[in-house]
Amino acid sequence: MAVYTTNEIRGGMKVMIDNDPCVILENEMVKPGKGQAFNRIKYRNLKTGRVVERTYKSGDSIPTADVVDVEAQFLYNDGTDSHFMTNETFEQYVIGDAGLGEAKQWLKEQSECVLTLFNGVPLAVLAPNFVTLKIVETDPGVRGDTSGGGGKPAKLETGAVVRVPLFVQEGEIIKVDTRTGTYVSRAKE
Amino acid sequence: MMWQPTANWDALKQRAVLIAKIRHFFAERNIVEVETPVLSHATVTDPFVVGIPAIFKAMGGSDEKIMYLQTSPEYAMKRLLAHGSGPIYQMSKAFRQGEISKIHNPEFTMLEWYRPGFDHHMLMDEMDLLLQCILQTKPAERMTYENIFRDYLNLDPHHATIKDLKRCAHEKDIHLNEELTSRDAWLDVLWTHYIEPRVAIERPLFLYDFPASQASLAKVRAEDPPVASRFEVYFKGVELANGFHELQNSIEQAERFAKDLAYRQQHHLPAIQMDQRLLAALNQGLPDCAGVALGVDRLIMLALDSKQISDVVSFTFANA
């Protein structure tokens, strides 16, 4: 099995830790002047989403994980599972709601997204950084108010709720940053 | 390909000013600046400090001789002291195999000085003045190794068993990939992961009187428990310096070297020859003295409120 040693490990690498696929976030060498060298490695477990830190002796190795990210399109939800198709190979994948995680609230049919496959099985879905979605429900704002202060909740077509400025109305299309879940601007269809 | 320096020119000019200030500090005290070889026949036996080998070949000859870039000028400076130099300092390049991080560069500048007639407390006083001069800090805090472990972890570092240390790490949410079999390694982990980030934030910390097992080249005082007359200096998460009330006894020194070599053999580390010239000098007689080595790049980094060495050296290892 292929391995990375502690000095090769960089952010973004996919490794197996305790039989789970994980992505490396940080790797810092710690070396007291006279003491032994260690590597403090921070990683996210791709199955649970948990961020963990573990200390390795410098020179230890960690097996690589067969994890790849592929671009895909969200096809539809059949009531229990979501169906995706990869852009390059047109292969279809099915994920239950639990595996969908955060991405669920940003994806509508035909949305582009990234599928993380572990040993060929979908593990996670990542929504694009920005999505444009229609507001299906929000209180009418006060006319003339164009400031960003305050704001009001707005429900989007995917079910997500974001805060929008008072001047934004029901039926409008807005651009949202999915990493922070915040309103960016009004958008055209 | 990056050919430009990693530090900006302004930082390098400030570095030059600080280096001049350091030299002035020693000139004022009549401490003589010396130069000793960077390239040496011998290197240290420390299991966790590794010299970088360099191959020498005489002109026209075919024999290759493995030499070492020095990890610090300590041995050569002690030979000068044994020869009667009196107080001396040196600011020179030192090299450590494999050490790369934001605050490690395999080649770095080290300031090392020795004071005959001083013990480690007197040297801490002098070093504190240097830090106040260069970093504009308040007088440093001082704590024994034992007290800091008691205060922060409720642990006696001299007597805690591996089991105690392991449990303590677990309680503090420190997770190791494998069990450590050495008490000192556990103490290092607790120090670097838990205590160090919580201390020396407002002013430097002098940590002193280390467990005898971490004596290195310091005298060990036969107290109960025995402690090494060694100190380290920390500031803002950076280990700045390491000093000793120097071991004078050549037989004890040879025994400590032998212990290192045994450890090396056990852990399949490369075999090293003891530095016989140092032992001969100690045998002749090293004056009672204290000495300390300080990482100059780290000092300048702190003076310029920087977070990494690359901000204060012209070219780092990566683009040397």
DSSP string of B89-139, one letter each residue:
EEEEEEE-TT--BTTB-SEEEEEEEEEET--HHHHHHHHHHHHHHHH-PPP
**Which residue in the set B102, B177, B189 is minimally distant from A60, CB to CB?**
B177
Task: Look at A55-59, A102-106, B28-32 and tell me which has the smallest mean pLDDT.
Answer: A102-106
Quick one: angle between helices B74-82 and B276-285, nearest 10? 30
Q: Which residues, other chains included, contact B279 with Cβ-Cβ below 8 Å and sequence gap of 6+?
A: B250, B253, B254, B257
Please give the radius of gyration of chain A, using alpha carbons only, rounded to the nearest integer.
Answer: 21
pLDDT in tens, B58-111: 999 999 999 999 999 999 999 999 999 999 999 999 999 999 999 999 999 999
Question: Contact B177/A36, CB-based, under 8 Å?
Answer: no
Buried-state track A32-42, b at ≥16 Cβ within 10 A, e below 16: bbbbbbbbbbe
Q: Which one of B104, B177, B195, B207 makes the best mutation probe of the A interface by having the most chain A beta carbons within 10 Å?
A: B177
Contact B98 A30 (CB under 8 A): no
List residues in chain B touching A: CB distance below 8 A: 46-49, 98-102, 104, 174-178, 182, 184-185, 188-189, 191-193, 214, 216, 232, 239, 242
Please give the Cα distance from B225 to B51 (Å, whole number).
33
Closest alpha carbon to A104 in A138, A81, A136 = A81
Alpha-carbon distance of B229 to B214, in angstroms, equals 10
The per-residue pLDDT for range B182-192, each reduced to its tens digit, is 999 999 999 99
Model pLDDT, residue A142 = 63
Helix or strand holding residue A71 (H, E): strand A67-77
Question: Do the bridges between strand B141-144 and strand B107-116 make them parallel or antiparallel, or are there none, so unpaired?
Answer: unpaired
pLDDT at A123: 87
Total-model pTM = 0.85
Closest CA relative to residue B79, chosen from B90, B93, B68, B64: B90
CB contact under 8 A, B104 and A29: yes
Q: Do B49 and A33 touch (CB under 8 A)?
A: yes
Q: Give the closest residue to A109 by CA, choosing from A80, A130, A78.
A: A78
Q: Which two tokens stand for residue A24?
A: 């490396």
Return left, alpha or beta for A49; rule: phi > 0 is left, psi -120 to 50 is alpha, else beta: left
Model confidence at A28: pLDDT above 90: yes
- Which residues on chain B are in Cβ contact (under 8 Å) with A54? 175-177
Each residue of B273-317: pLDDT tens digit? 999 999 999 999 999 999 999 999 999 999 999 999 999 999 999
pLDDT digits (tens, 9 = 90+) for A100-144: 888 889 998 899 999 999 988 898 899 999 999 999 999 886 655
Asked if A52 and B104 come within 8 Å (Cβ–Cβ), the reply is no
Placement of tokens 């035909």 in the chain: A110
Side chain identity at B68, as an amino acid letter? Y
Number of A/B CB contacts below 8 angstroms equals 62
Does residue A145 have a pLDDT over 60? Answer: no
- CB contact (8 A) between residue B214 and residue A34: yes
- What confidence category does residue A70 fall into, taking pLDDT thresholds of 50, 70 and 90? very high
Is-contact B119 B233, C-beta < 8 A?
no
CA distance A54 to chain B (A): 5
User: Percentage of chain A with pLDDT > 70?
Assistant: 95
Q: Do A55 and B184 touch (CB under 8 A)?
A: no
- Residues of chain A with a CB closer than 8 angstroms to some CB in chain B: 7, 28-38, 40, 52-58, 60
CA distance A98 to A120: 18
Query: Cα distance from B121 to chain A (closest Cα, Å)?
Result: 20
Q: Give the closest residue to B78 by CA, choosing from B228, B282, B264, B238.
A: B282
Query: Which range has the worst mean pLDDT, A44-53, A93-102, B107-116?
Result: A93-102
pLDDT score of A189 more than 70: no
The pLDDT tens digits of the residues spanning B44-55 come to: 999 999 999 999
B220-275 pLDDT, tens digit each: 999 999 999 999 999 999 999 999 999 999 999 999 999 999 999 999 988 899 99
Please indicate whether, in this complex, the C-beta atoms of B177 and A54 are within 8 angstroms of each other: yes
Note whether B298 and B109 are within 8 A (CB): no
Which residue of A7, A28, A30 to mutate against B (max B Cβ within 10 Å)?
Answer: A30
DSSP lists the bridge partners of residue A182 as A177
H or E stretch covering B284: helix B276-285
ipTM over 0.85: yes
Q: Which residues of A touch B183 (CB under 8 A)?
A: none
Residue A147, pLDDT > 70, answer no
Measure A20 CA to nearest chain B CA, in Å.
15
Exposed / middle / buried, residue B61 (Cβ in 10 Å: 0-12, 13-18, 19+): exposed
Asked if B104's CB is within 8 angstroms of A40's CB, the reply is no
The shortest C-alpha distance from A31 to chain B (Å) reads: 8
Judge: A28–B101 Cβ closer than 8 Å, yes or no.
yes
Q: How does residue A188 score in pLDDT terms, banded at 50, 70 and 90?
A: confident
Contacts of B214 in chain A (CB under 8 A): 34
Residue B171 zone, left/alpha/beta (φ > 0; ψ -120 to 50; rest): alpha
> What is the spatial distance between Cα B315 and Cα B91, in angstroms, rounded to a whole number?
18
For an interface test with A, the pick among B188, B210, B294 (most A C-beta atoms closer than 10 Å) comes out as B188
**Cβ–Cβ of B189/A31 closer than 8 Å?**
no
Calculate how close chain B gets to A56, using CA atoms only, in Å.
5
Please give the single-letter amino acid code of residue B63.
D
Give Rg (Cα) of chain B. 20
Best A4, A15, A31 residue to mutate vs chain B (most B CBs within 10 Å):
A31
Q: Which residues pair with B115 in a beta bridge?
A: B290
- pLDDT score recorded for residue B257: 96
